[in-house]
Chain A
Amino acid sequence: SSGINAEWPLRPGEHDGANVNPATLNTVTAATKLGGSVHAIVAGDSCVEAGNNTAKIPGIEKVFVAESPALKGQIAESVVQVLLDIQSKNNYTHILANGTVFGKNILPRMGAKLDVAPISDIIGVESDSTFVRTIYAGNAIQTVESSDPVKLITVRGTAFEASPADGGSAATENVSSDINNDKSEYIEAKLSKSDRPELASANIVISGGRGLKNGENFEMLYELADKMGAAVGASRAAVDAGYVPSDLQVGQTGKMVAPDLYIAVGISGAIQHLAGMKDSKTIVAINKDAEAPIFQVSDIGLVDDLFKAVPEMIAGIEQQ
């Protein structure tokens, strides 16, 4: 049977400890492919509501709710102690976490404690011991087999269908573990505030690159995004240059997205960026350089000055 760690909510403004990261729905799908029963674990300093929301996900049979001040910010050193406690009592064969910064931060630390080799960012399940993942920024696809008694896996959300968020009725169980952590302390989060859809799970993503020239110019992408109900992303170059905050970064070392529609504006299309979006259903590229590598993967390409094209798009949509 498998256990999954469900995440802290991502967005400020919603109730803290209430909503679960949408990526969890994709991880649940991956977990159900393994067969056997699926349990979930929600940890934090205030997460009873998150536990209740996790219990609504069909496919989950039980949700452990670990609430303690020591788990504030879900600091890795404390969360892993709780996970180990639950694992020692339940002996899961597979433990999965979202392939997000959160999941990647926690799962390998647990791997060390269990002496198990974690498997990062899977995109496929071939059997209960064989998994598929990408290497070299998605330039090669690797199938690996683990012979460890417990498989520790982080799941790339874009590779699995999201399970429904409602309809299930798992039992919830409070757990109180002994947590001894005097080595680390959570201070605070500085989250980007936005009413737009979650970047990693949005149907439409509009991303800007270095071609935008500055942060102010991203305003027109935000405007276009709001007209289309889209999320806004960015290339690493735009983030490095300080145009937008780091959580917008799409790419090998940022977020992986696979929306129905990805519009790349002023993005040249470096391999590292493609790694983060080439599984999108439809890719549109707008770039004034006809030779930009992005046009090699785009389904629809427009060679044009983005400062002319984007306002035209906004106007064109408004006219509908």
Chain B
Amino acid sequence: SSGINAEWPLRPGVKVRVRPDQLGVVTDGVKHSMNPFDENAVEEAVRMKQKKIVKEIIAVSCGPTQSQETIRTALAMGADRGIHVEVPKGTEADLQPLAVAKIFAKLIEKEQPDVVILGKQAIDDDANQTTQLLAGLVDWPQGTMASALEHSDGQLKITREIDGGLEDIKVKLPAIISADLRLNEPRYATLPNIMKAKKKKIEKLSPGDLGVDIAPRLTVKKVVDPPVRQAGDKVPDVATLLDKLKKKKVPTATLR
């Protein structure tokens, strides 16, 4: 079976506002949705089930009550059942990658999956850590930034997007994968499937039930706005543009 992590950050494109107390970002009343990379992770799991590489898909979300919505979306896309590890509302910003990884490590013990797929990074904290942390905790091989997966004989060949291009590695199952954007094109949940998903089970657990201490290790001291970049002038043509660049003395051999 395979497990996927579905996260619940602010919807992409939503304007981010720093809180007046400068300890975080305003999330109350702001639209949330499934982390885009997690959509790729769910989609890949569904495809693996269609190819009969896995028999069952469990969708997992760690967060406040509302993050169940992402599990419902995953169930509508094709996951079989869900696990919601709930934390009190308002504390979700304190749930850091190491804690999430530890929760997942316990779920791995409980559910014994063959593959765990997560999104490469959450678009709120941009950490890109959970997959690697989890793989280290359970000592499984990792395939991060995966843009293609090929299964054969208890192994996965993974194409990864790396700094200079692409890289192929092979891992023995069980393994932990992080999905990159180009892994697949996530499907839209159809209305009939959304209705069917309401009947699928979501188990609710707390970190305490799993024996995990989720106390944050990193203390946020301050959150502030970035420096604002003022718009400059528009130029009427290329000649003026080149002239301005020359005046800016951009270090280049050809603009003299």
Contact = CB atoms under 8 A, between A and B. Distances in A.
Interface of A: 10-12, 21, 73, 75-77, 80, 100-102, 104-113, 115-121, 130, 134-148, 182-192, 200, 203-204, 227-230, 236, 239-240, 245-247, 252-253, 255, 260-261, 271-272, 278, 282-284, 290, 295-304, 309, 312-313, 316-317, 320
Given A146-B218, A252-B126, A320 B162 contact: no
Contact of B223 (A117, A141, A312): A141
B242 A278 contact: no
Contacts of A261: 245, 248, 250, 252
Given A77-B142, A317-B255, A191 B168 contact: no
Given A134-B226, A145-B219, A320-B255, A187 B163 contact: no
A187 to B, nearest CB: 4
Interface residues of B, number: 84
B89 to A, nearest CB: 20
Contacts of B220: 142-144
Contacts of A200: 163
16 contacts: A12-B164, A73-B169, A101-B162, A104-B129, A108-B131, A111-B98, A117-B96, A130-B221, A135-B124, A144-B221, A147-B217, A185-B170, A228-B254, A295-B231, A302-B241, A304-B237
A300 B218 contact: no
A135 B97 contact: no
Contacts of B52: none
Contacts of A106: 132
Given A109-B142, A117-B216, A252-B123, 18 more contacts: A76-B132, A104-B128, A110-B136, A130-B221, A136-B10, A138-B226, A140-B25, A144-B219, A184-B171, A186-B167, A189-B166, A204-B252, A253-B180, A261-B252, A282-B248, A284-B241, A300-B241, A304-B238
Nearest to A239: B182
B245 A300 contact: yes
Contacts of A282: 245, 248, 250
B36 to A, nearest CB: 9
B125 interface: yes
Given A135-B25, A143-B222, A146-B217, A229 B237 contact: no
